[in-house]
């Protein structure tokens, strides 16, 4: 950190020691590149100090691209009639998970469009089967009722990912027809109440999104004390109403992620696939700026291509075994290791210990 201003170092160093920044300071950091070097340095130091050098690899199983929602940015939206849809059967989900566990994954992330194709009992059966094979289960199925979330928890699910996408009420309304922002907040509270290790996150670079609104998102994550936060740059999909938009900027998304690391030093933060889509070394750069998780896709065959949220998704033609070897090599090349634990965040472990669990 040779030629950067003392003022920039002071602001970021203060955040490292106090895990706090004001709204004004966050907007300041996001608006100027003079903070970047110090920000990335201290975010990496916070990751290392609180979480160590190991990276959690979690296998992302995209088990259905059927979605009843119409989020303006997403290629899975119901009104995208061009996309061929699929829904793996419960025994296929279990079989793909079994293969992923054999490749070494200790967590399976079950993700899908928001749909009601599956009977709750069937998904519960898949969750229990995966737990019985020794892996932890993360769910990312969208907004469900408290009863449904509770059933999955009872069946053995450990974690749930539900991004708030944006905390800006008017922006949320523009982008999510017929969806309730309040319900999304309520779902996150319910998941925390039910004892899930709860993750949220946001999109960066949405049309009409301001730096002030991004700062609000970051402060919301801090206040809510989540266990995981995923930050993804928005990537325009030509088969959606936002197909002609500019899309998010890689460095801005990286900065948002780094600030989240400073404010929530003990949580899990993935180096997102969308980051690698914008920058061919994006996940490794993210791992060097605060991230400690990577979620390679473990879905096999044509399903990889059909889970098309946005264009340019990486590793579409690769087999899960290859992806695991490839990312492991890249992680080791930067002097980091692959975690042998089940992938709980340090934050969650501390909370369980405080509860005597
Ligand atoms: N349906 C569930 C939900 O919405 O929570 C889970 C699956 S959804 C495909 C997972 C995430 O993909 C969303 O939270 C959203 O942030 C992200 N996503 C969707 N479209 C995207 C795009 N065009 N660019 C970047 N990320 C996108
Ligand atoms: Fe469906 Fe999730 Fe995509 Fe929205 S973001 S359209 S809920 S898959």
Distance 295 CA to ligand 2 centre (A): 18
- Chain centroid to CA 48: how far? 19
Using an 8 Å Cβ cutoff, are 37 and 258 in contact?
A: no
Q: Taking the domains of the chain in order of start, what are their residue ranges?
A: 6-354
pLDDT at residue number 4:
61
Atom of ligand 1 nearest to the CA of 162: 5
Give the DSSP letter of residue 60.
E
pLDDT tens per residue, range 241-279: 999 999 999 999 999 999 999 999 999 999 999 999 999
pTM here is 0.97
Kind of pairing between the strands at 337-338 and 59-64:
unpaired
pLDDT tens per residue, range 32-48: 999 999 999 999 999 99
Superfamily classification of domain 6-354: Aldolase class I (3.20.20.70)
Average pLDDT over residues 133-145: 98
Q: Is 37 close to ligand 2, i.e. is its CB under 6 Å away?
A: no
Distance 274 CA to ligand 1 centre (A): 10
Using an 8 Å Cβ cutoff, are 315 and 307 in contact?
A: no
Please give the backbone phi and psi of residue 114, each rounded to the nearest 5 degrees, phi first: -85, 110
Stretch among 181-195, 250-264, 320-334 having the lowest mean pLDDT: 320-334
Residue 162 has pLDDT above 80, yes or no: yes
Residues with CB under 6 A from ligand 1: 73-74, 76, 111, 113-114, 140, 142, 162-163, 165, 203, 232, 234-235, 237, 274, 309-310
Distance 179 CA to ligand 2 centre (A): 11
pLDDT band at 132 (very low <50, low <70, confident <90, very high): very high
Task: Describe the strand order of the beta sheet including 293-294 as a list of residue ranges.
Answer: 293-294, 54-57, 337-338
Average pLDDT over residues 145-168: 98
Residue 1 has pLDDT above 60, yes or no: no
Q: How far apart are CA 265 and CA 202, in angstroms?
A: 18
Please give the backbone phi and psi of residue 62, each rounded to the nearest 5 degrees, phi first: -90, 85
Atom of ligand 1 nearest to the CA of 143: 5
Question: Which residues are 139's β-sheet partners?
Answer: 110, 160
Residue 5 has pLDDT above 80, yes or no: no
């Amino acid at each position: 950190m040779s030629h950067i201003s003392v003022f920039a170092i002071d602001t970021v160093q203060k955040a490292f020691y106090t895990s706090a920044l004001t709204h004004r300071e966050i907007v300041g950091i996001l608006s100027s590149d003079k903070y970047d070097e110090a920000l990335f340095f201290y975010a990496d130091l916070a990751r290392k100090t609180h979480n160590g050098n190991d990276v959690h690899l979690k296998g992302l199983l995209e088990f259905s691209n059927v979605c009843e929602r119409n989020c303006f940015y997403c290629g899975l939206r119901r009104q995208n009639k061009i996309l061929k849809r699929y829904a793996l059967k419960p025994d296929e989900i279990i079989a793909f998970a079994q293969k992923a566990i054999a490749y070494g994954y200790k967590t399976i992330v079950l993700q899908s469009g928001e749909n009601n194709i599956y009977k709750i009992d069937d998904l519960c059966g898949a969750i229990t089967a995966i737990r019985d094979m020794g892996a932890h289960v993360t769910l990312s199925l969208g907004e469900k009722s408290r009863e449904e979330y509770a059933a999955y928890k009872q069946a053995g699910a450990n974690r749930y990912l539900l991004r708030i996408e944006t905390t800006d009420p008017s922006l949320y309304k523009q982008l999510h027809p017929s969806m309730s922002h309040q319900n999304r907040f309520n779902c996150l509270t319910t998941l925390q109440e039910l004892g899930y290790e709860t993750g949220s996150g946001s999109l960066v670079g949405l049309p009409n999104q301001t730096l002030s609104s991004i700062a609000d998102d970051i402060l919301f994550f801090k206040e809510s004390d989540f266990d995981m936060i995923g930050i993804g740059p928005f990537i325009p999909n030509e088969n959606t109403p936002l197909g002609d938009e500019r899309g998010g900027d890689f460095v801005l998304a990286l900065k948002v992620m780094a600030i989240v690391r400073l404010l929530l030093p003990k949580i899990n933060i993935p180096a997102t696939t969308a980051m690698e889509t914008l920058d061919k070394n994006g996940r490794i750069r993210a791992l060097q700026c605060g991230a400690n998780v990577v979620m390679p896709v473990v879905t096999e065959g044509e399903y990889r291509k059909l889970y098309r949220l946005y264009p340019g998704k990486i590793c579409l033609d690769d087999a899960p075994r290859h992806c695991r070897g490839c990312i492991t090599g890249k992680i080791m090349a930067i002097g980091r290791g692959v975690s042998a634990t089940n992938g709980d965040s340090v934050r969650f472990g501390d909370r369980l210990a405080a509860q005597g669990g």
